[in-house]
Chain A
């Protein structure tokens, strides 16, 4: 029973830790499926987290914070879109640039506006997302097995957590069951064909980039408004890159993305849990190894040792209309 309870605790923090990854990876899914590579997930997430934290702290409204986060992240996405789609610049260079600009700007602006060493003021009350208890969570708590699973694992998360997991089927439906999704995927595989059909490749890609901005906005807002009470400098701490890894690990498919994010979230939760506690049979695992594991797994996958990850065919290539 003791083991069971600690398993539930690890899984509970797995869910908590995988939410930002899930939002960001789904965001990447939209752009990359449309043929625009996005290294800048990290930067957009960080920018959104800062804007959300700052606006929520000033206005005291979590919703205005969320809106500000999404706004900033969409604006950054549009910068990426302008460079990558309109100016046909290198998509990777542009993503790298956005990561640096945001990493610097959040610290400078945060320090100038709030003077708390790059933090935004701590949020409380209506300025922060509160956890939601599912119905009967309290009543079922005493029931063995089901009780802990329902009331600890599934209940008591933030609204954004449930939204993140709801985004998975929604993204699947949009990409595979709507005209918009079909065109979006086509633009990433063969933009020439889409153009021939009389659909604007540029506008299609811009819409994909905006979708990406909205989702990274949620990811950032989750970090500063739900998981932590306020923005801390550099709080994404490489989550954008892990999300990118998860996206590749999932071979650019929505449901796989969810499992990849849960896996990487689980590794994170486990490494926190295992600090100082030896593992049975294996003994003491260095924390650093656990931290490097998502990256190692992605490299191994990319090398084609576990299946093959084939990116969208037109990914990374700017579209030049034939004249």
Chain B
């Protein structure tokens, strides 16, 4: 593939350009705040103090970030193989079944560290299952993965409403949710980790799945850049024809990558179900799968980028609640706008500023030798 853009220094490519794109996204979001009649600088102040001002706030920020690390990784792994998995939302939702079944079955028998491995396997299994079908359909039947995963999101939503209102709901209860789990179905909070920094976690549901998310991020880095399979999937993402020529089985990669992606999305369910609510509720994913798209694009599909991007979105979620409290005109839907703008500027328009920046750097390098010559003379 020919690259129509000039080559730029690495730090510009991976640092400056994403930063400028992000900045533009936030500037446009600021315009929306202005349009609503509030001061964007005040909003930014409320957001940052609301997200980091106290140990409890930081706990909430990191709680949300945990979720977004999982979904961001899920989208990113698929990106590397050239697949766009919009279905993380549905895969996470279905993954919840695995967590809920493990908890409902064993929460009264085993302690949390006995239930957790089973819940993880269950979450990953159900998430992978929901991603396997679109992957298989793409690989074997040629149906477009974007469309199938969108359809699967809706099918998952209907299925979960059915399951939660008819199957998993305890007898005699009206609310569409499972029963509340006992101690075995509740993950311990990371208050000791926050305590190390002298912070008080308060009521924040910041829990051990954060460490799992970090481990998953490291695992993804190893998988993508340090294994043979990772090499094969990146080859396919870069150039499917080259991969075919090298004897890499496209359908095998597609199916496995989608299953890994789905498993990562499914693991996200641990955080809200076992970490916060101690039960599975209707719509517990709350759009986190879609946030994963923004996180993956912003983090340039690299775990080292995804973690800060996830924390940024965690900040938006937690700080956004604070803005909504201080400025009634701005509800949490502001986050959805920002999410969309980040996807637009860091994703679809990622090359908008590249020609100008390229010209700027070309000008610099052209001038530098000339200046040196002038000094020498």
Contact = CB atoms under 8 A, between A and B. Distances in A.
Interface stretch (A63-71, A257-265, A289-297): A289-297
A296 B158 CA distance: 11
Contact of A100 (B36, B142, B343): B343
A304 interface: yes
B49 interface: no
Contact of B147 (A87, A89, A90, A248): A248
Given A112-B329, A302-B143, A83 B334 contact: no
Instruction: Using C-beta atoms within 8 Å of the partner chain, give the interface range for chain A.
Output: 35 or more
A296 to B, nearest CB: 6
B151 to A, nearest CB: 4
Contacts of B330: 108
B341 A304 contact: no
A107 B344 contact: no
Contact of B158 (A83, A94, A97, A291): A291
A96 B146 CA distance: 11
A55 interface: no
A134 interface: no
Given A88-B351, A89-B349, A111-B331, A299 B344 contact: no
A123 interface: no
Contact of B148 (A82, A104, A299): A299
B283 to A, nearest CB: 13
B63 to A, nearest CB: 22
Interface string A276-293: 000000000010110110
A311 interface: yes
A108 B348 contact: no
B350 interface: yes
Interface string B157-169: 0110110001000
Given A96-B86, A100-B337, A295-B154, A288 B159 contact: yes
A255 B4 CA distance: 40
Contacts of B351: 87-89
Contacts of B100: none
A291 B158 CA distance: 7
Interface in B1-23: 2, 4
Given A93-B348, A101-B340, A108 B334 contact: yes
A303 B144 CA distance: 9
A183 B26 CA distance: 39
A288 B158 contact: yes
A193 interface: no
Interface of A: 39, 79, 82-84, 87-94, 96-105, 107-109, 111-112, 238, 241, 244-245, 248, 286, 288-289, 291-292, 295-296, 298-299, 302-304, 311, 320
Interface of B: 2, 4, 32, 35-37, 84, 86, 137, 141-144, 146-148, 150-152, 154-155, 158-159, 161-162, 166, 290, 293, 297, 329-331, 333-341, 343-344, 347-352
